[in-house]
Structure 1
Amino acid sequence: MYSLKPKPVDFENVWSSLRPSVVDIMNMKPISSIQWHHKFSDVYDICVSIPNPLSEKLYNEVKTCIKDHVKLQRKIIENVEAEQLLQEYFRMWTVFHEGAVYVHQLFGYLNKQFVKQKRCTDLENYQNYAPFLQAPDVKEIGCLALEIWREDLVNSIQSRLVQLLLIAIDEDRRGNTPAYSDVVAGVIKSFVQMEDHDFDMKESTNKESSPNKSKKTMECTQFYKTNFEASFLKDTEMYYSNLAQKMLVELSCSEYMEAVIQQLEQEEMRAKKYLTEASVRKVIELCQKVMIKAHKEKLHAVCHDLITNEENKDLRNMYRLLKPIQAGLSVMVKEFEDYVKQKGLEAISRLSGENVPQQFVENVLKVYNKFNDMKTAVFMDDGEFSSGLDKALQGVVNAKEVGLGNVAAKASERLARYTDGLLKKTSKGISDTDLETKLTSAIVIFRYIEDKDIFQKFYSKMLANRLITNTSISMDSEENMINKLKQACGYEFTSKLSRMFLDIGLSHELSTQFEAHLTEVKKKDPKLEFVSTQTLILQAGSWPLSAPQLASGSNTSQTAQELADFRLPRVLQPCIQEFEEFYTSKHSGRKLTWLWNMSQGDIRFSYLDKQYVVTMYCHQIAVLMCFERSDLISVKQISESIGITGDYLLKVLKTIVDASILLSDSTTISQSSNLRLNLQMTSRRIKFRLQMPQINKTVEKEGQEAVANTVSQDRKYYMECAIVRIMKTRKVLKHNALVTEIMDQTKGRFMPDIPFIKKSIEDLIEKMYIQRTDQNDEYQYLA
């Protein structure tokens, strides 16, 4: 058994037997395991010999041995012909590098006992501290061998090797791939391996993961960068600069882009085959610089034509080329944005006929779908192009009609009317899947609308009409649409819409309770008769409704006077009176305001050949109840009976005459006209509905005026609340910073202009919510 106890050693004798083995290992000659262990023991004995360790002497002898071996190799390689130099060098290096690994292992104890003690190589981040440590010439045996190889052999033939490598790679670029391409890659790799000082990595794969090994290898590439990479990049730049000039002369722009993409792909594969990972990135960036960035103006010059002609293949190639270049896509994005906006404006300029809202939405969606698909297929859903598409469609949707000045764009109203058409009961059936798709598409356009508060006004008014008249296609669909709006704009935007739904649900419950109450009342007094009713209790602050007497504007104020003395038909009075008492008993302190102009009822005609059922508004019911005892009545008598006067009464009468329920003795109904019951009336439908009397001249004008009367005031309140909220949080704020925060908070509802913001600030200063400070353009919150 071998003893580890230190003992005296005859160095000359032991080294004379150890040296030939070192040379054999360097030449990768076979050695038995017994010999290996004996030589390992010899190294140990020398390092721990007594009375004095002989480690330093052994280190110097090993160094001399390796130097002598490399000198012999250099003499051989210097006489090799140029045609065989790469192959011969690679063969020699492969043998030497593997031999150096084994020699490093053989002298492992010397490395640990002598070299590390001298060099402190066990320090973390040794490479950073190495220049400041003692004994800079003392290296571990493996590293020493690689350094000697580099200094004594490679430096003498380095220029010849690099030249041959560049020639081989150039031939590869020209399509003549060398048969010894693995040799070329191996020689280039050797330039990196020469500086790999972490030989322990080769002894154990468990010490570090592959990424860490790779990182350390990449850090030791100074010789590779200085002696090969710099020359290679210079040669590459010259080659591709000349190639680009030649291709620009011979090829069209489309062909040039395809050729460049092909060259880049080939060069990347070539770089991965021959070079380090860091060099691959440098080569690609260099090729992009000389073939794309240097000529991007020529690519930009044809960008407009490619986009307007929708040459998707060429646009995809141009995108791939310009994407890596800094600010390379700016021209493409601008051309794309302008083209989308142009097509969008053309699409909405052709609107005509009665169904303008549907045409508007469908035309905008066609543009959106087309260019959104193009953005995905051609521009890979790039964020810059997504932003360009959004800006273009925002410009299209919010475009104002020529000649209307500062009048708000009609997109809000059109989209509201489009959704109203979808969610109303119609004769045309639509599946749930199609309805969901159309509502989702409507939200796409909604997101582009700047004046979302105007949309909210129109939508809430139309929703109220659907809920009151029970013409919604389904409550689930209504709730689905509100949820979509909530996701797009938040809870505050839809809070009133949600409360409208709540009111309808509570009203149904209340109506059920009232029916039960009437049953109890009839039991007590069977003589009482009540008309079957369903009453909707609507919160005044949640619904966009008001009694005519509370409305504003010249037309509606006149109507309020004409309806001031309206008398409810006798048949409805007991039920209404009973309901008011019932409701007051349940909710004390609340005031009921009846909206007779919105109230409807079903009237059954029993005097004709068929029993028709007609749905009509309360004022129309009051008119028809006048004909219970007489078939011929004058307009003046009707007015005195129901308490309605003026033009509004004539409009009510006209809706009934237009339905052929009444006949007039004159073509135009006036205060002197006489009306008689049409006893010969016929209709193809047993059940039908009368139109609502129009207070204003047209439905569109009514909608626009109603919204215009409230949006301006709502915006003023919303703006002032936003300013106070910001200033209460910040206490002191500069003017520009305040304007920026106001824009951020209000853009979800509308886009305010600067004069409006300034006026709101001035108003709050007058109301003493905020004040100016001594600093220029600065405001302070007043608690």
Structure 2
Amino acid sequence: MPNIIGWIDSATMYSLRPKQVDFDETWRSIESSIKKIINLQPLEHRIWDYNFSDIYSLCVAIPEPLSDRLYERTKACLEEHVSGLYKVISTTSEPDLLNEYCRLWRVYFQGTTYIHNLFGYLNKQYVKSKRHMEIEAGYGAYSQFITQSDVKEIGLLALDIWRQELIRPVETQLVNHLLSAISADREGKTTVPADVVRGVIMSFVQVDDIDGLREKNEKYPPSAVSNYETYRSLFEEKFLHATNDYYTIRSSKLISELDCSQYMEAVIACLADEDERSRRFLHKCSYEKVTRLCQDVMVSAHKERLHAVCHEMIQTFQKHDLHNMYTLLKPIPRGLAVVIREFESFVRKSGLDAISGLHGENVPHQFVENVLQVYEKFSAMVSDVFEGDGDFTGALDKALQAVVNYREEQKQSPKASERLARYTDMLLRKSAKGLSESEVDQKLSNAIIIFRYIEDKDVFQKFYSKMLATRLISNVSVSKDAEESMITKLKQACGFEFTSKLSRMFTDVGLSHELTDKFNAYCASNGVKLNVQMQSLVLQAGAWPLSAQLPTSSCSLPGGTSSEVPSVGFIVPPVLLPSVQEFERFYQTSHNGRKLTWLFNLATVEVKLNYLDKQYQVTMSVQQLAMLLCFESKNTLPLSYLATATGLTGELLVKNVRAIADSGILSVHDKDSLNGDSEVSLNFAMSSKRLRFKIVTPQMQRQVEKEAEHVNNTVQQDRKYYMECTIVRIMKTRKVLKHAALVNEVIEQTKCRFTPDVNFIKKNIEALIEKMYIQRTDQNDEYQYLA
């Protein structure tokens, strides 16, 4: 039909002045237009404009406005029209009821929209003023009821008439036909077109929705009437009840006929179908209700059946079924609790199986790689099957933390910290062949994944710092960038304080190179000629874990300076002493008062072998050099002589002799059963394809065995100091604190380094009370800081 909405042009403006109006004559014109509009019959723009003007004229007529009569006549006209439509509906046959109702409603609702706009002035002025007067008249105890006035805007009035005069008389038939049509749709049958079903259902919504009638440019606040009361009370409640009955029966039938996997597939299909059906037929306010109802009936009611099979599904990695189970149980309160528990248990078992029975020299590598395989396997499972759900991520973390920190006996220290430190040491050494820089960096990043699960991070720090020191001193790091990258990763995981000593170690190495250049310049400017060129590393005792490894004793140096050398009996070769003494003098010129402790057990030298057909250049330890220098005067010596000349005894002496013999420089009759009378000879028949090689420095087995024990003892002492500092820092800030609160805060602040035992915290609190840093208050479970 043509657009029936028109505008008042300037030529008709003169008619807007208040004047006397013949109501009956004017009403006949308006009534004729209402009947055409309500039936969507064509109406000329000119007539529309005249009617708009007529309504205004009646509302402002003199000597008195005729708004009341206009409102009542309009109401009567609409009631008469709807009454006629009801007669049509009441005589319609049952199969056509929904189709006919929908057709009539669409015409009526569209016509109502136009009529509402035609009566815009009446809506804005008369209805508004009428409500205002009623509110003033009823101000006080009854004012809350005045807002429910019978005076409504024309559009809302028309919808109210439809609701009262047409819907109410036939609501039972309408709803029954709707439920039957939807039930047939569930069975794959179509008895009524979908647009008709939706049109009828949406009519229950639209009769309460005055906002749907208003033009977008109308300045009205949102209506409080649009609460879909008719839709909810008339249709939605009955629909939800019927849906509950339908799926209760269907789920019982499916659960008895199908196994669990098939049942989950069927339920997911039902939920998807019902969601799609809701969006085809229902108002959006019902979508969530329908879904929740179906979940309650088909999932919640049978979740024990699903929980019963989740153990087997997890054990056998039935990913598709597990994803279906996750999809169904996630919306159910605590529906996933059993699945999460089973998942965590399986991850823990898989992890413990992966790290049990490790043996051989490559245990650290096996440990880390096996744990990473478990992590990657189940991380992918969390991502793909459980959609990255935070609860499953937390279960994975909890399980892997238990695996990484597992100890067979309660008093036994976990081995993860040492193993991870040795794994990273292997990656960061030059001997790590076959790996590119990017591969090394990726493996270090993977190591950090495991590091985050370690509870005793301070133990890792001790082992890592010792191994870093060895790499830096021996110059065997794969690259400076790789070392710095690892320290950066540790800093990101635990903070600056955790890596501060590691960073200082790097600084010392850099400064030592500069110091060596200055020493060489010093020797050149003072005419000092050294028979041995020396490169020294001057390291801070507080940053490096090596300075206190061995007991020391003093030895005198020319010029009155003092140094310390290890007192394990080692005798420094005379050929090295001039260089050592000169460096001491140089160092004291700019660092007077500092004392150097020489760690010859960590020193290496490069030696040229000039007594063979070929000239070889060999890198060896200073201790091994001391042994070789004994053969400058004799070709064969007893082992007891080497012990006396070098000060090395026992296992250390034997290990070094075997290492030199393995290189071919010395020959021993039976190196596996050496004793004091065993003779060691210089091997003049030595031959090697390599002209440059290195003699591996042996590590005493006893030292390896005691290293972990030494680290653990050191860590326990460090923890005591760290714990006391943490408690004092907290109490200094809080002044007064309950015992439980103090323990919780201590755990929170120390967990980045280690997980403290509550008894350990209590002992340190008691120690601080004895030292009078804190005291108990009158309340026994409360502490106060003492300034």
Does TM, normalized by the shorter one, top 0.5?
A: yes
TM-score normalised to the size of structure 2?
A: 0.92
Partner of 1:554: none
Q: Does 1:353 align with 2:360?
A: yes
How far the C-alpha of 1:776 sits from its partner, in A, is: 3.2
Match among 426, 433, 438 for residue 438 of structure 2 = 433
Deviations 1:208-255 (A, max 9, x none): 9xxx98xx6994201110111000000000000110000001111110
Residues 404, 453 of structure 2: 8 Å contact kept: yes
Match among 714, 721, 742 for residue 718 of structure 2 = 714
Distance 1:51 1:537, change over 3 A: same
Match among 619, 623, 629 for residue 623 of structure 2 = 619
Q: Does 1:33 align with 2:45?
A: yes
How far the C-alpha of 1:506 sits from its partner, in A, is: 1.0
Partner of 2:209: 196
Structure 2 distance, partners of 1:130, 1:67, is 29
Partner of 2:561: none
How far the C-alpha of 1:755 sits from its partner, in A, is: 1.5
Partner of 2:459: 454
Structure 2 distance, partners of 1:249, 1:643, is 86
How far the C-alpha of 1:609 sits from its partner, in A, is: 2.0
Distance 1:685 1:121, change over 3 A: farther
Partner of 1:556: none
Match among 601, 614, 621 for residue 597 of structure 1 = 601
Match among 402, 411, 416 for residue 416 of structure 2 = 411
**Which deviates more, 411-420 or 280-289?**
411-420
Structure 2 distance, partners of 1:460, 1:497, is 7
Residues 375, 386 of structure 1: 8 Å contact kept: yes
Partner of 2:163: 150
Residue correspondence of structure 1 range 295-694 to structure 2 within 5 A: 295-401=302-408, 404-426=409-431, 428-522=433-527, 528-550=529-551, 563=567, 566-635=570-639, 637-644=641-648, 648-663=652-667, 668-694=673-699
**Which deviates more, 131-140 or 155-164?**
131-140
Q: Which amino acid aligns with 2:51?
A: K
Match among 70, 81, 93 for residue 81 of structure 1 = 93
Residues 117, 214 of structure 2: 8 Å contact kept: no
Q: Which amino acid aligns with 1:691?
A: V
Partner of 1:555: none
How far the C-alpha of 1:614 sits from its partner, in A, is: 2.0
Distance 1:186 1:694, change over 3 A: same
Partner of 1:775: 779
Partner of 1:126: none
| 3-state SS in 2 of match to 1:351 | coil
Structure 2 distance, partners of 1:622, 1:440, is 43
Match among 277, 281, 287 for residue 280 of structure 1 = 287
How far the C-alpha of 1:565 sits from its partner, in A, is: 5.6
| 3-state SS in 2 of match to 1:688 | strand
Distance 1:461 1:283, change over 3 A: same
**Which deviates more, 283-292 or 510-519?**
510-519
Match among 171, 174, 182 for residue 161 of structure 1 = 174
TM-score normalised to the size of structure 1?
A: 0.92
Partner of 1:739: 743
Q: Which amino acid aligns with 2:767?
A: D
Partner of 2:139: none
Distance 1:574 1:135, change over 3 A: closer
Q: Does 1:224 align with 2:227?
A: no
Residues 134, 146 of structure 2: 8 Å contact kept: no
Residue correspondence of structure 1 range 52-67 to structure 2 within 5 A: 52-67=64-79
Structure 1 distance, partners of 2:397, 2:187, is 45
Residues 551, 568 of structure 2: 8 Å contact kept: no
| 3-state SS in 1 of match to 2:600 | coil
How far the C-alpha of 1:62 sits from its partner, in A, is: 1.0
| 3-state SS in 1 of match to 2:435 | coil
Residues 208, 225 of structure 2: 8 Å contact kept: no
Match among 91, 100, 105 for residue 93 of structure 1 = 105
Residues 119, 135 of structure 1: 8 Å contact kept: no
Structure 2 distance, partners of 1:50, 1:206, is 28
Deviations 1:410-457 (A, max 9, x none): 111111111111111127331122212211111111111111111111
Residues 426, 432 of structure 2: 8 Å contact kept: no
Structure 1 distance, partners of 2:145, 2:163, is 23
How far the C-alpha of 1:709 sits from its partner, in A, is: 2.5
How far the C-alpha of 1:733 sits from its partner, in A, is: 1.3
Structure 1 distance, partners of 2:274, 2:500, is 60
**Which deviates more, 432-441 or 298-307?**
432-441
| 3-state SS in 2 of match to 1:429 | coil
How far the C-alpha of 1:561 sits from its partner, in A, is: 11
How far the C-alpha of 1:693 sits from its partner, in A, is: 4.8
Structure 1 distance, partners of 2:219, 2:26, is 34
Deviations 1:614-634 (A, max 9, x none): 222222222222322333445
Residues 244, 291 of structure 1: 8 Å contact kept: yes
Distance 1:608 1:697, change over 3 A: same
Partner of 1:104: 116
Structure 1 distance, partners of 2:265, 2:617, is 74
Aligned length: 758
Partner of 1:557: none
Distance 1:205 1:313, change over 3 A: farther
Q: Which amino acid aligns with 1:750?
A: F
Residues 735, 778 of structure 1: 8 Å contact kept: yes
Structure 2 distance, partners of 1:207, 1:314, is 55
Partner of 1:44: 56
Distance 1:205 1:108, change over 3 A: closer
After superposition, the CA RMSD in angstroms is 2.5
| 3-state SS in 2 of match to 1:682 | coil
Q: Which amino acid aligns with 1:90?
A: C
How far the C-alpha of 1:665 sits from its partner, in A, is: 7.1
How far the C-alpha of 1:466 sits from its partner, in A, is: 0.6
**Which deviates more, 388-397 or 657-666?**
657-666
Residues 654, 669 of structure 1: 8 Å contact kept: no
Residues 181, 192 of structure 2: 8 Å contact kept: no
**How many percent identity over aligned positions?**
52
Distance 1:207 1:300, change over 3 A: farther
Distance 1:25 1:532, change over 3 A: same
Match among 25, 28, 38 for residue 13 of structure 1 = 25
Structure 2 distance, partners of 1:268, 1:183, is 19
| 3-state SS in 2 of match to 1:533 | coil
Residues 43, 109 of structure 1: 8 Å contact kept: yes
Deviations 1:235-294 (A, max 9, x none): 000000110000001111110000000000000000011111120100000000000001
Residues 240, 290 of structure 1: 8 Å contact kept: yes
Residue correspondence of structure 1 range 242-253 to structure 2 within 5 A: 242-253=249-260
| 3-state SS in 2 of match to 1:240 | helix
How far the C-alpha of 1:591 sits from its partner, in A, is: 1.7
Distance 1:187 1:122, change over 3 A: farther
Distance 1:15 1:297, change over 3 A: same
How far the C-alpha of 1:688 sits from its partner, in A, is: 2.6
Structure 2 distance, partners of 1:531, 1:478, is 31
Partner of 1:703: 707
